[in-house]
Structures are given as structure tokens and as C-alpha cells.
Amino acid sequence: MKNKGITLIALVVTIVVLLILAGVSITAVFGDNGIISGAQKAKDKTDEAIEQEQEDVGKLVNQLEEFERSGLPDTVKEAIQKGTIFTANKQIKDESGKTMTVPKGFKVKEGTTIDEGVVIADSEGNEFVWVPCTVDEYKKHDYEIKKVDDISNKADGENNDKGWNTYLYRKYSDWKDDEIDEEKNKKSVEENKGFYIARYEAGVPSNADFYVDESTSDKSYKDANSKDTTQTKTGENLKPVSKARNQCWNLISQINALKVSERMYSGDSYGVRSQLVDGTAWDTIVTWMSEEYEDIEKVSTSKGNYANSTGNNQITVDNCLFAEHLRQYKNGAVKNWCLGKSYQYGSFTSGYTENWSDTKNDPSTKYNNYDNNLETYKYNHYVEMATGASDNTKLKNIYDMAGNMYEWTTEYGYHNGQTSGTKYAVRRGGGFYSNGSTVPVSIRLGGESTTDASNPDLSFRVVLYVK
């Protein structure tokens, strides 16, 4: 009995000791000064240290950038004279005192005043023009006529003397811009008082397998019957260029134009974001141009490569890349495009030759998709100009926004009130197949599928927003 009593006492003592140890352990782990509390405090201190370190690094970066900016030119004139490539974004002034932001990685190439159009260029020679505007001026055109499904070609407004010409599904209220950050664009414009537009229509880069220049001017189109897999090939490393007298990048879908435009400046080497031009930017530019060139938003024939370019409006260019195309008809009905089999380098004149009949030289050897089995031969003959081929097409130092090539924008929507199915994208500006008096720089058309890459007179243009 004595041993059993001792065993019971020992058990109780052991339990008591264990409870005491458990309490101590719990206190050590969960108490105010316990392990968990200590770990949490250590984590909090570490987080605070990291946050402070990041703040210090941010301040240091800002100081370094400010130091870099302090050594950069302060005026447009000085920047041009020095040829400085800016190492940080910096605001500079023109001769009139107006300001613009030159982004990191670019230099100021030409221009006296911002109102005339100041040109910047990167190290590879791609050129862009500064478009000055306040955040209130950066907006889409407010059409006076509010018809949703307007499929007739007319000026906006009851009188033709005050309207922007429009055609085909131009005012769907639910159409929107695709794959862009509208708020970020607006914020950039608000902070910098403007944005940049490519000086030229998008050009084919030299690493593309369909690139042509004067040294390869006899190179044929890959295959006129399978344009989608040849002319529109994007590739991982393919980027558009914005250079003078370069082969236009046509026969490309809106979807691919979106991708390659964003790819042009996607890294941290430059102080800009690139994208396909959006509807807001296009309308803002046209409004800016119309301040100097009266009625350009209504009649653009004198400032573009259009089909109705005749007399004083005709453009003659020497020693430049161009391509000839036919538009084929049968009994008055449009059949198809006959694409020129090769680009040429030489002299040419804008405009077109009507009613090219079978009594003339058989064009079948010069054009793809030529149908020589038609009962009645009728053709219109057009010229596709290289980018920026003539100063006659320049407005505010920007080339070919009117005529030569229609240009895809980011705007898209669906027809007839639908919310799915075929997506259609808006194109602007008119092309070499167009009439400059009915299809001016302001024209807005929404009748082309976002996947359509069959038009030789449809290209695109890149816009830049300062980061």
C-alpha cells in the first residue's frame, strides 16, 4: 500500500510538473514575449526594413534621374544642336515657350516650334512627332449626327461645311478600344501635355522575309493567294519601323497590327509605351491639323496619295520605292485586287488610270490574281507609295495620314447590335484607292473584320505614350 501511495503521489507530481511545463511552453510560444510574437515582430521589422530600403532606393533613383535630367538640354533648339540622346524623360521648351516631354532613349531631330511639329528619333532612326494637347483636348470627335447604323457616305451635320466625313458603322455606342489601357494613356497625356504619333505609316522591318528596298526591288510577293500566311507573318522578333521611303507594311490584319505595335517599345530602354493608334489619338491629331490646314478634315485630296489626285494635286516622285496594283472589274462590278508582282524603284505619279482594257498591253505578266478569262476587261490602275515619299503629303511634320494607306486603329465592335460573332475594326485616313474629297483624313469606317488581311491599301501606325 505504501508503494502504491508513493506511485500515486509521483503521478500527481508528474502531472503537475507537466502542466507547469506546458504553461511555461505555451507562454514561451504564444505569450507577449513568446516565440511566435517574437517571430512576428522580427517579420514586421524585416518588412519595415525592406520598405525603408525600397524607399531609399526609390529616392536614390529619383536623385540619379534628376541629376541626369539636369545635364540634358532645356530647349528644342539646344537639343537639336547637341544631338543628345536623352537618358531620362525631360520636359523642354520650344522657341514660343511651349513645353514637350522628350522620352528616355530618343533625341530631338528637327522642328522649331511645337505647333509646327517637333520630331524625335531613336538610335535606329525611327521618327515620331509630338502632338500637344491638354487632357481636355485629348478626346474623340463628338459626331453631330447620332445615327447608330449609318451606312451612307456623308458629312457629319446637316451642312457639309462643318462635318467630318464618315462611312459604314461609324457610331456604334458600344464600340471600344481593344487591348489598351485608356486610363493610363489619359494620365500620361495629363502629366506630359501630349503624346507621340509615328511620323510615317508602319514600315516593314529589314529582318522580315517580305522586306523590299531598292537593292531587292525585283522581289515578288510571296504568294498573292495566301496573303494571311506570308505578308502578315509577325514572328517573335518582328517590329514595325517608322522611317522615310520604306516599304509600307500592308496586307496585315488588325489583330497582328495590335501585337507588333505594342512590341516596338516594350522594354525599359525607352521612356514610352507603344501601341496601335487609338481612336482618341487619331481624332485629337485631326483636330490639331485642322487648326492650321483649313477644311483638311473635310477634303484632303491635296495632302495625300488618292485615286482622284489630278492636276495640281498629283504627286510625282523620283527615285523611290513603289508598287502598282490593279482593281479588276467585270461588267461594272468589282471582282478583286490584282497585286503587283514586284516592287519597283524609280519614278512614279499618284492617281490612277481608268478602264485599262484588253486593247492595251496584257497586264497578266505584271500582276498576281489576274483573271484573263473575263468577258470584259476593265481595270483601275493605282500606285502604292513608299512611306513619306513626298513632302506634299506632310501635315504638321506627319506624313500620309491622309491617303496612300488606310490605317487600322484599336477601335472594334460588332454590327447590327450584336455582342458576339465577327469583330470589326475601325480604319481611318483613306487609301490610294480612295477619293480625297469624300474620304478625307477624318474618315471613319468600321466595316472590316479584325482578321482581314487582304487589302493592299490598308496599313497601320504606332502611337507612343510617355511613361
Average pLDDT, the chain: 82
Q: Tell me what the mean pLDDT of segment 95-123 comes to.
A: 97
Report whether pLDDT(448) > 70: yes
Backbone angles phi, psi at 446, to 5 degrees: -125, 40
Rounded Cα gap, residues 185 and 463, in angstroms: 10
Q: Distance of alpha carbon 59 from its chain centroid, rounded?
A: 33
Q: Which of 8-17, 294-303, 305-314 has the lowest mean pLDDT?
A: 8-17
Q: What is the pLDDT of residue 377?
A: 63
Backbone angles phi, psi at 260, to 5 degrees: -75, -30
**How far lies 448's CA from each of 211, 227, 451, 453, 455, in Å?**
25, 16, 8, 9, 10
69-93 pLDDT, tens digit per residue, is 678 999 999 999 999 999 999 999 9
Judged by phi (left if over 0) then psi (alpha if -120 to 50, else beta), residue 351 lies in left
Q: Which of 72-76, 164-168, 276-280, 347-351 has the lowest mean pLDDT?
A: 164-168
DSSP string, 152-171: S-EESSSSTTS--EE-SS--
> Secondary structure of the chain: what % helix, strand, coil (to 5)?
25, 25, 50
Report whether pLDDT(376) > 50: yes
pLDDT band for 264, please (50, 70, 90 cuts).
very high
Q: What is the pLDDT of residue 236?
A: 58
Of the segments 19-33, 258-272, 321-335, which one has the largest average pLDDT value? Answer: 258-272
Whole-structure pTM value: 0.82
**Are 254 and 461 contacting, i.e. CB atoms less than 8 angstroms apart?**
no
Q: Is 9 exposed, middle or buried (0-12, 13-18, 19+ CB in 10 A)?
A: exposed
Rounded Cα gap, residues 441 and 89, in angstroms: 31
Rounded Cα gap, residues 123 and 446, in angstroms: 36
